[in-house]
Amino acid sequence: MGISAISPALAPTMSSDSLTWQNTDARGLKFAIVVARFNSNITGKLLEGAVDALTKSNAAGYTVFSVPGAFELPLAAKKLARRGGYDAIIALGAVIRGDTPHFDYVAGEAARGLQDVALDTGVPVIFGVLTTDNLEQAEARAGGELGNKGYDAAMTAIEMARF
């Protein structure tokens, strides 16, 4: 099947690695960004990427909130989703396996909790949480050679806000 056989609705408009985005115009949309302070050298870069994406996409606005660690992201996202006024919530964090024996709990609960909030409230909640084996892998995905997953998360938020 050639590219011409793909319906316009399925054709990618922008891509990063294997993620592609449609509806990249954020005009009129407002976002909440919740960022974990744990591993702030990494999460600060994710935040920069997310802000870059929202700015370039002409978002109407965004507000940044911070929480101690990735484990706290779901509750913060739930409060913000219930508060209203946001078209999508972007959750940013970095869980690094080498840092903790409870990596699986923190990473797993952050993922499950964020998805639960999205499904319970209907507000898109985007999983911009790096889960890596070591710091080098995290750096590569936070503005390094593998891009910026914060940027990717914000682009995904725009598409899901318009879904």
CB 159 within 8 A of CB 88: no
CB 74 within 8 A of CB 114: yes
Nearest residue (CB) to ligand INI, 39 versus 148: 39
Q: Catalytic residue among 82, 83, 102, 112, which?
A: 102
E strand or H helix at 110: helix 103-121
Nearest residue (CB) to ligand INI, 22 versus 66: 66
CB 129 within 8 A of CB 77: no
Q: What is the C-alpha to C-alpha distance for residues 37 and 56, in angstroms, rounded to an integer?
A: 25
Binding site for ligand INI (CB under 6 A): 36, 38-39, 68-72, 93-96, 99-100, 106
E strand or H helix at 29: none
Query: How near is the Cβ of 122 to ligand INI at its closest, in Å?
Result: 26
Query: How near is the Cβ of 137 to ligand INI at its closest, in Å?
Result: 12
Nearest residue (CB) to ligand INI, 44 versus 69: 69
CB 81 within 8 A of CB 89: yes
Is residue 102 among the annotated active site residues? yes
Nearest residue (CB) to ligand INI, 93 versus 150: 93
Quote the radius of gyration of the chain (alpha carbons, Å): 16
Give the active site residues.
102
